[in-house]
Amino acid sequence: MPEEESRAQCILVVDDDPMVRSLLQAFLSELGHSVVVAENGLQAVDAFHRLRSSIRLLVTDLHMPVMDGVSLIRHIRQLDEHLPIAAITGYADDAMLQAIRQHVTVLIKKPVRFSELQSLPGLMRDA
């Protein structure tokens, strides 16, 4: 198990839907990762500032109240240009996708398949 523990990562999950947040947290925790959750971008920025040195992956919804995912992604990129970011969306117009394309590591369409989450960049350290 030490090998599994060495692969455990701290993941910041951001989604305004409590069910989606809970499912993502449960799945990623089941894989052995530490998961920090936020319900909007503003909470995520606060969590990122507190845990910056630990967070290895950001998984965020794009459409949220208070601070949306696009604003969150732009803010995080100013602080860390290398952090892997997975944007999750059920719908996004071309302008929104264009706005984040250069900042996002991967775009995942809802409904999310757990197999997509399992292979996200940042979940495993380079060997």
Task: List, for residues 5-17, the tens digit of each pLDDT value.
Answer: 446 789 999 999 9
Asked if 83 and 58 touch (Cβ cutoff 8 Å), the reply is: yes
Sign of the C-alpha dihedral, residues 125, 27, 79, 46? negative
Question: How much is the pLDDT for 123?
Answer: 65
- Give the pLDDT band (50/70/90) at residue 41: very high
Residue 75 in tokens: 């803010």
- Cross-strand bridge partners of residue 111: none
SS (HEC) of 18-65: HHHHHHHHHHHHHCCCEEEEECCHHHHHHHHHHHCCCEEEEEEECCCC
Asked if 92 and 70 touch (Cβ cutoff 8 Å), the reply is: no
As a whole number, mean pLDDT of residues 100-121 equals: 81
Place of tokens 């732009």: 74
pLDDT tens digit string along 18-38?
Answer: 999 999 999 999 989 999 999
Q: Which of 22-26, 41-45, 66-70, 103-107 has the lowest mean pLDDT?
A: 103-107
Which amino acid type is present at position 24?
Answer: L
The residue ranges of every structural domain in the chain are: 2-118
- CATH code of the region 2-118: 3.40.50.2300
DSSP state of 112: P
Which amino acid type is present at position 99?
Answer: A
Residues in the chain: 127
DSSP-based three-state secondary structure for 6: helix
Place of tokens 């799945």: 27
